[in-house]
Structure 1
């Protein structure tokens, strides 16, 4: 696909049309391997183009590895899977410096984190020290070993997974670290029609092998830059701010959405708008993404949590009570 020239000027109608067409093609391509999960695939590409990371909380066997492979194959990028275990060391993730006796110099051997798409499987099974090493790379997009900094490159996205069952021997991610994930969602089990389609192709163990490389990694970086130029009106920023304030003042929360969460929602909304062919964000973009971007950033009150209230329910209730803007401010 031909990539239009990317500038820091506001996105034009022609650019937004190209963006929407390319985004749709990317989603459809991944959808050939990850069946019946169009919304989650759209969220994954939104996280990638907003240059963030995604957390999947899912039971085993729902297609998390397939999603990571399909994303990497579609953008002609590299893919690595890290199985997190209690004995995994930070250097097993980031890499290590080894002395080469022949050359007489120290050489850095890159860890599996140096890939376009990294699947961090069952992140809650690793020690907090190893979790922190991963989250540091996610935040800074670089690794520093023995005083030397190594860039993780672009595009770079981590798909981390948590298993909601078998919690024995796991290390729950602290809320402050959960806040570093741009989006949290769940693949879930496929519907009946998709399950039948998967079973019909049971002989094909890896459905990503036949996927086409639609765009280059460099084009994905250009799309990310282009998405950042989408216009956000002051009224939209005010709406996001009021939503965040409502989460902080809600009786069922101990900790509401931070400014980082507000920025994350706006960044995602820009991509979401461009993916629909618009060079500007509307309130519906915020509504579509609020639960996926904000819910995991909340800390519920103990009584609310004990009563079975979920963060998703709190965000949905706040969305229903905060009036969205009806006109532009400037």
Structure 2
């Protein structure tokens, strides 16, 4: 059933309230907050490549408080084991039976801090839960609950003692972005109100309302010409001369889902080419593997996607009506 204009207006108003609420704790990062909340509503996950002290933990906590959910933080280190993430089964001598103790992954918003510092075995423990929303331990499968958002971070500077995320893991993240340092105006606001930057926020929506927003976003209209436009962009990432491996079908689906949510969040019942163009870089760039020569020449995946978006002519608005 298509989303109605009245529903899109309610959705946009609620989305704006959520963004404004989170921005009380993370000043001057409106666009990044919109990306994070869009990913959560689209049932995706976020990868933040950022420097220390940019507010990643504050962002995760603020998002969970805004949706009246639970949050947890996992500090990834080389000695972290898969059971430290998912939980373990322990034998209770009094009861004479095994009991499962939930790991920190059982939360609505999970901050996986410096994920590339853990071994590949521990990183892979996130694969199933990020894709399917459930954890399997000792043959028993347990859902982590909904909504569920993983915000993983990695430091772009320090590479010693890190394990590069494999392509299969990167492909599980809907969006890769960066908080970055605040601009001067935001920094001044932070310094002027150091004691007043809110750590505890009032909830704006319940988890059930957020799930309802996810259902509404899926009903946004996408013209068949836009499906072809998205397919053209994804295919172009595979044939670009600087690229060894392009975006997958999962990347195309992620771009479509994110564009639907973005459209409704901005008061529309339909997706436009501008929605696709705006989201192409954060959704697709981390899925590309550049060849060695291109990397040596300083080419970035963001630049490749940006050029592809410039080269491919989108469908005209008159054709989309």
Bin the TM-score by the shorter chain: over 0.9
Check the 8 A contact 1:73/1:208 in 2, yes or no.
no
Cα contact 1:84–1:123 (8 A) shared by 2:
yes
**Pairwise CA distance, 1:226:** 1.0
Equivalent position SS for 2:72: strand
Matching of residues 97-112 of structure 1 within 5 Å? 97-112=89-104
Q: Distance in 1 between matches of 2:27 and 2:35?
A: 15
TM-score by structure 2 length? 0.98
State whether residues 73 and 212 of structure 1, in contact with CA within 8 Å, keep that contact through their aligned partners in structure 2: yes
Tell me, in whole angstroms, the C-alpha distance in 2 between the residues paired with 1:113 and 1:218.
Answer: 20
Give the C-alpha shift of residue 208 in structure 1.
Answer: 2.3
* 8 Å CA contact retained: 1:116, 1:155: yes
Q: CA deviation at 1:246?
A: 1.0
Counterpart in the other structure of 2:199 = 208
1:180 match: secondary structure: coil
Q: Name the counterpart of 1:220.
A: 210
Counterpart for residue 81 of structure 2: 89
Preserved CA contact (<8 Å) 1:30 1:41? yes
* Shift in Å, 1:329: 6.5
What secondary structure, in the 3-state scheme, does the structure 1 residue paired with 2:88 have?
strand
* Matches for 1:223-262 after TM superposition, within 5 Å: 223-262=213-252
- The whole-number CA distance in structure 1 between the counterparts of 2:159 and 2:293 is 22
SS in structure 2 of the partner of residue 268 of structure 1: helix
Structure 2, gaps ≥5 residues long: none
Aligned counterparts of 2:277 and 2:96: Cα–Cα separation in 1: 58
Please report how far the alpha carbon of residue 135 of structure 1 lies from its aligned counterpart in structure 2 after TM superposition: 2.2
Distance in 1 between residues matched to 2:240 and 2:193, nearest whole Å = 48
Q: 1:233–1:328: 8 Å Cα contact kept in structure 2?
A: no
Which stretches in structure 1 are left out of the alignment for 5+ residues?
A: 1-8
Q: Name the CA distance, whole Å, in 2 between partners of 1:77 and 1:49.
A: 14
Look up the match of 1:30.
Answer: 22
Task: Identify the residue that residue 118 of structure 1 maps to in structure 2.
Answer: 110
Q: Is the 8 A contact 1:40 1:186 kept in 2?
A: yes
Alignment TM-score, normalising by the size of structure 1: 0.95
RMSD between superposed Cα atoms in Å: 1.1
Q: Report the Cα offset of residue 163 of structure 1.
A: 0.5
> How many pairs were matched up?
320
C-alpha distance in 1, partners of 2:93/2:193? 51
Question: Contact 1:234–1:328 at 8 Å: present in 2 too?
Answer: no
Superposed CA deviations along residues 231-260 of structure 1, whole A, max 9, x for unmatched, are 111000000000111111111111111111
Picking from 150, 155, 180, the partner of 1:188 is 180
